[in-house]
Structure 1
Amino acid sequence: MDPVTRLDAIEGIKLTKARHQRGVDTTDVDLLRRVFADDVYVDCRGVMTDPISGANSAPQTDEAFRGADKAIAAAVASLEGVVSVHHVSSPEIEITSPTTGNAIWPQVDRLLYSAGAPHKELIGYGYYHETYERVGDDWLITSMRMVRTRMDFIPW
């Protein structure tokens, strides 16, 4: 693959991830639907569970999902009453063919909960492990696994 084509693919994957993060934070279902492949596999099990208390602030995320509509519904449900800010940075992107690639994204998210939640805020750190497929001019997420490396829970 020539360098310009490779860089174009990398930038396309970056744009897809930026849209994904914005779609999550704004709960924009249409935008999220644009970034996921129809049969996307999403696995975020355990990412909302406090390892000390065992409290899970988003039980909707504790199963792996096949299909964009299921994954989006779980994400939207898990963020009901929550203000979220997600940031990714410095991805490791590998273009595996003219139409496929994968990436590891370091991430930090900050979730601010409504009154009555077990905690006021969660600041989470970890990585997204994702695969992508180019369909037409767009890159779509075909699989996503989120792994936490640290969670800071802020009490009320």
Structure 2
Amino acid sequence: MADDTIDIEAIKLLKSRYFRFLDTQDWDSFRCLFTDDFVSDTKPSGGKVIHGADEFVSFVKSTLANCTTVHHGLTPEINITSLNTATGIWAMEDLVRMPGLIDLQGFGHYQEEYKKVNNQWCIHYSKLTRLRMDFRFLCFRIKLPQFLLHYWQAR
């Protein structure tokens, strides 16, 4: 391909928005990131295969309804395969704080396919594999007053 830099940067921005909209639970914006026939495959991570963007967003929304999440996508390997298609692999780390004092911290990879729809890159297929999942139980959370945080940061 000629100069794929613009498309690669657009796909990086797409995935950045994926993580931000997921963590902020902005479900309408999150839905706009996928093709209508999107497929999510989390079977290698102990999950399932979901067909359809609406079904996927609905599943994620209900699963994370009472959770706080933090997702990071790292070291993207993006290949433009045609004018309207691309593939990517992202290293990932996530933290899911579930009700009931349980935290899940996971590490793995997203393997994805992208399609350009109406001149915008969208996620068409995503497979999540995990290398490791750590669970912490009975995590006692203490909210520190802001002045203590400033004190410790100044030291």
Query: What TM-score range do you get, normalising by the shorter chain?
Result: 0.7 to 0.9
Secondary structure of the equivalent of 1:91? strand
Match of 1:97 in 2: 82
- Length-normalised TM-score, structure 2: 0.84
Match of 1:2 in 2: 2
Cα offsets for 1:87-119 (capped at 9, x unmatched): 00111111101111000000000111112xxx6
- Length-normalised TM-score, structure 1: 0.84
User: Counterparts in 2 of 1:1-150, with a 5 A limit?
Assistant: 1-3=1-3, 6-45=4-43, 47=45, 62-115=47-100, 120-150=102-132
Unaligned runs of 5+ in 2: 139-155
Secondary structure of the equivalent of 2:20? helix
Secondary structure of the equivalent of 2:108? strand
Q: Which residue identity lines up with residue 43 of structure 1 in the other structure?
A: D
Q: Which residue identity lines up with residue 53 of structure 2 in the other structure?
A: A
Q: Which residue identity lines up with residue 80 of structure 1 in the other structure?
A: A
Mapped partners of 1:67, 1:101: distance in 2: 19
Match of 1:54 in 2: none
Mapped partners of 1:76, 1:125: distance in 2: 21
Query: How much does 1:150 deviate?
Result: 0.2
Secondary structure of the equivalent of 2:32? helix
Q: Which residue identity lines up with residue 10 of structure 2 in the other structure?
A: G
Secondary structure of the equivalent of 1:25? helix
* Equivalent pairs, count: 138
Q: CA RMSD, aligned part only?
A: 1.3
Q: Which residue identity lines up with residue 21 of structure 1 in the other structure?
A: F
Unaligned runs of 5+ in 1: 50-61
Cα offsets for 1:16-71 (capped at 9, x unmatched): 11111111111211111110000001112363x5xxxxxxxxxxxx3211110000
Larger-gyration structure (1/2): 2
- Identity %, equivalent residues: 36
Mapped partners of 1:46, 1:27: distance in 2: 24
Secondary structure of the equivalent of 1:81? coil
Secondary structure of the equivalent of 2:91? strand
Mapped partners of 2:62, 2:53: distance in 1: 14
CA contact (8 A) 2:44 2:128 kept: no
